[in-house]
Every structure is written in structure tokens, then in C-alpha cells.
Amino acid sequence: MSTEPRATRDLLRALAADAPSRSALVTLALVAGAVALAPFVAPYDPNAMRDFVRDQFLAPSWSHPFGTDSAGRDVLSRVLHGGRVSLGVATLAVAVSVLFGTLWGAAAGYANRAVDDVMMRCTDAVMALPRILLLILVASVLREPTAAALALLLGVTSWPAMSRVVRAEVRALRSRDYVIASQALGATWWRRLRTHLLPAVLPLVIVNATLAFASVIPLEATLSFLGLGLHPPTPSWGNILLDGTDQVAAHWWLVLFPALAIVVTVVAVTALGDRLQQLLDPRGAAL
């Protein structure tokens, strides 16, 4: 990746002019809009248990486009409301990761060699921990984590990758003429970092945040699928999947539709992140 400062507005302009990126953005906008408006567009209460005998395991139809589950609950309504939870957890987790990872990486990149070495060894120690095993361990201790606790757990275990990217870019940029000139004019280290270095690494942060978001969604779904994430009656894409795993052959819609929601969202976010990387790479399309 280029170490030249990239204006975020130039990156967004190039993104808007790129057809694959527009397709990914439209897909994400549709998914985000549907889950954000779930209270208004969902046809039923996601937790309402209807007539147990009459409405149990109804196949997809006009009245229930995604069918119903073992309790007679409308799967479409649960997928829409579950998306609010899953995407909300992912967004908060990425925000925690970006905030801590960017500040830690920028401080390490601008510090002297000794401080940088200590900070990076701490980062390496966190990265050396098996993340999924750590998540399972902590989630099992918490027993029934809230959405905020789950997001915080996912965020504090994903910041090292972000910090290493930011640290490498800051170290490359701090010797540039405009940074040295700012120092010669008496600007404090924090002012140099805030004014010159952090804006320059922002496009890289956006790219890595996008890719992190794509990895957090299935991770949250995995924890919920294992029964270690959010517990019913709160719907999430993971625990909706869990409800249908023992009846896949007979009641395929219980797994198909939440799985499709996860796949479509992750593919769109990944495609957007990959395209952002290409736009930032000097060997790819120029901004």
C-alpha cells in the first residue's frame, strides 16, 4: 500500500465512481435499511408465539415469506430484528477495535524505538492468543452476555491487526518533510499526530475497519450458534440459525434465510473492503 497521504474525500470520490463498489454499497444500504426499519417493516412481532398447532413450522408463503419456526414465530420478522442486533454488535465491536487499535498503533509508530518495541511486544502477545478459544472461554464465563458486553469482547480481541497497520504507516510518514517542518515550527507531538499523521492514515483505517466488520459478523453468529452469544428471546442471526440446525432437512427455511442474510452482508462488506484496498494500492486504480 502506498504511504502517501490520501485524502478521505478523494477515496470516497473514487469509490463512488467505481461500479463494483457502488453495487456493494447499494447491497449494504438495502440490508442496513431493512434492519434499521425492522419495527416498521417486519410483518409480525419477532417474539410473538402464535397458535402453536396451526402456525408451527409453516413453509414460506405469502403470509409468512420466510416461514415460521417451532414456536410459530415469523422467521422474516426475526431475521429483520436479528439483523439489528447482529449488525449493531458488529458496528460497536469494530468501533472499539478502531479506536483502541488506531491510538495504540499511532502512539507506537511515533514513539522512540524502545517504547515502540515494548508496545509491539504487547500487541504480539495479544495476537498470539487463539482468538476463538479466548472468546469461547470468556463468553462461557459470562454465561448470558448482553449485546454491549459481546461487542466489547469482540472489539478488545480484534484491535492488534489495526494497530500494526497504523503503526507501520505512522513510522513511514513521520519522517516526511511536512511533519518535520511542523516540528521545527514548535508543534507538539500530539498536534503533529492529530493534524498530520492521523488524517493521513484514515483511509487505511477505513479499509481495515471494513474488513474487520466482515469478520466480526460471522464470529458473532458463531458464538450465538454455539449458545455462547446472545440468548433468546433476543433474536440474532446466529441464534436464529441455532433454532433450525436440528431440523435442516424437514424445515430448511429456518437455516436458509438467516444464513443468506449473513452471507450477503459479509460478501458485500468484503467486496467493498477489497475494492478499497485496490484503490489505495498504487499498482491498482489511481484515486
Domain region containing 269:
8-37+76-280
Is residue 64 included in any domain, yes or no?
no
Does a structural domain hold residue 80?
A: yes
Cα–Cα distance, 225 to 199 (Å, whole number): 39
Pick left, alpha or beta for residue 243 (phi over 0 → left; psi -120 to 50 → alpha; otherwise beta): alpha
Residue 70 within any structural domain of the chain: no
Amino acid at 222: T
pTM of the model: 0.82
CATH number of the domain residue 152 falls in: 1.10.3720.10
Contact 97, 212 (CB under 8 A): yes
Rounded Cα gap, residues 271 and 205, in angstroms:
16
> Within 10 Å of residue 1's Cβ, how many Cβ atoms?
17
Per-residue confidence in pLDDT tens, the chain, 287 aa = 443 444 566 666 777 777 778 888 899 999 999 999 999 999 898 887 766 667 788 889 998 999 888 888 899 999 999 999 999 999 999 999 999 999 999 889 888 889 989 999 999 988 888 888 888 888 777 777 788 888 888 888 888 988 998 998 888 887 777 777 776 776 676 677 777 777 778 878 888 898 889 888 888 888 887 777 777 778 888 888 887 777 777 889 988 999 999 999 999 999 888 887 777 664 444 33
CA distance 23 to 21: 5
Angle at 222 between CA 218 and CA 224, to 5 degrees: 115
